[in-house]
Amino acid sequence: MDALILKLRRRHREHFGLEPAIVSYAPGRVEILGNHTDYNEGFVLSAAIDAGIAVGLNPSGTPASTLFAADFDESVQFLADHPGRTDKERWSNYARGVYALMREKYGFEPRGFQATQTGDIPIGSGLSSSAALEIASALAFAAFHGLSPDKLDLARIGRKAEHEYAGVNCGLLDQISSLFGREHALVFTDFRSLQVETVPLPRGYAFLIADTAVKHALVDSEYNERRRRCEEAAAYFARVLGPQVKTLRDVSWTDLERHRGALDPAVWNRAAHPIGEDERVLRGVELLKKGDAVSFGRLMFESHKSSQIYFQNSCPELDTLIDAARATPGVLGARLSGGGFGGSIVALIKETDVESVARVLAEAYKNAYGHVIEPRVVVPSAGARLV
């Protein structure tokens, strides 16, 4: 992070001619266990990572505000009392939306500002650079206007900005992970109560991310189909088990098995994934608290198998990396991370085996598809903060 902050200060000075009065930082995130459970009001284990977005800000002294994206070498200007959104410099819509929504919620008098943003999260890596930008911007704007907002309020503002200003229908996982991260610990979130706690990762282990750089067609329609099937299953169980069933979070694996014959096979399969994932997350938390990284890794492999068989949100590229990881000494577990149908895998590995595992995964992927990938270690890190 230190190098990123130095870069931010330098680029802000070059562009605006003065030091930023406020500097904030927010990390990206990786999903470790709990796939497609958030919208079923279930449980997720995630982690803030050691890469993120930094924002520097100072008053402009005028009604005008300027956003400077150092990584694109682009800037955009707008009035502080009407940030709006744009179809041209679309990268600016995240910060614009956050500012507008914070003003709407907290009612502060708008003030013109000069802000620089820069980051070290690889673009398109699935590590949530957008959420990191939203949260870093929110922290900077809060400090600028003398606010001390609740973390969950900032998470909701970030999500709403992504929905309404960036046009991305995300959940709260990314923002919560960025805000509540802790060094060498995972973030355990209950998506019904939005209660959050952190669970230490046993020493000597780290996570390796391998990005396939693949996003298959029809992802949105596939996602919608799976979500609809989960809702159908929840409605069925509410009828047969009682009104206490609000979502699949309220259905046990035993309940699911008992009603296998009564459900359409496609509905049963889609429901099986989040129901099994919830149980894996809760078991995973117990194992981490006992320091049992080996058994936790097995849950990650089980999670990916569930994605393959029940939810069918894996793909050949992801499966190639998982198969290579499973056969590699030093890998305790691995699974797809995020929505699926492409994107990245995350593997739990011994810190001493980072280079050898990364080399094996890269070679396996190149042999299968002819493409070079660069697996990278991510370290569970502290959450968003003012610097």
Active site members: 174
Phi and psi, residue 155, nearest 5°: -60, -45
Q: Where are the alpha helices (DSSP H) in the chain?
A: 2-16, 93-106, 129-144, 151-164, 173-180, 219-241, 253-258, 265-290, 293-306, 316-326, 354-369
Strands laid side by side in the 205-215 sheet: 331-337, 342-350, 205-215, 376-378
Neighbours of 286 (CB within 10 A): 12
Which of 228, 238, 281 lies closest to 259, judged by CA?
Answer: 238
DSSP 8-state assignment for residue 308: I
CA-atom Rg of the chain in angstroms: 21
CB 343 within 8 A of CB 326: no
Pairing of strands 64-69, 113-119: parallel
Q: Which amino acid is at 223?
A: Y
Q: Which amino acid is at 77?
A: Q
Measured CA to CA, the distance from residue 231 to residue 244 in angstroms comes to 15
Measured CA to CA, the distance from residue 117 to residue 140 in angstroms comes to 11
Which of 158, 189, 156 lies closest to 32, judged by CA?
Answer: 189
* CA angle, residues 1, 340, 34, in degrees to nearest 5: 75
**Tokens describing residue 351:** 């810190």
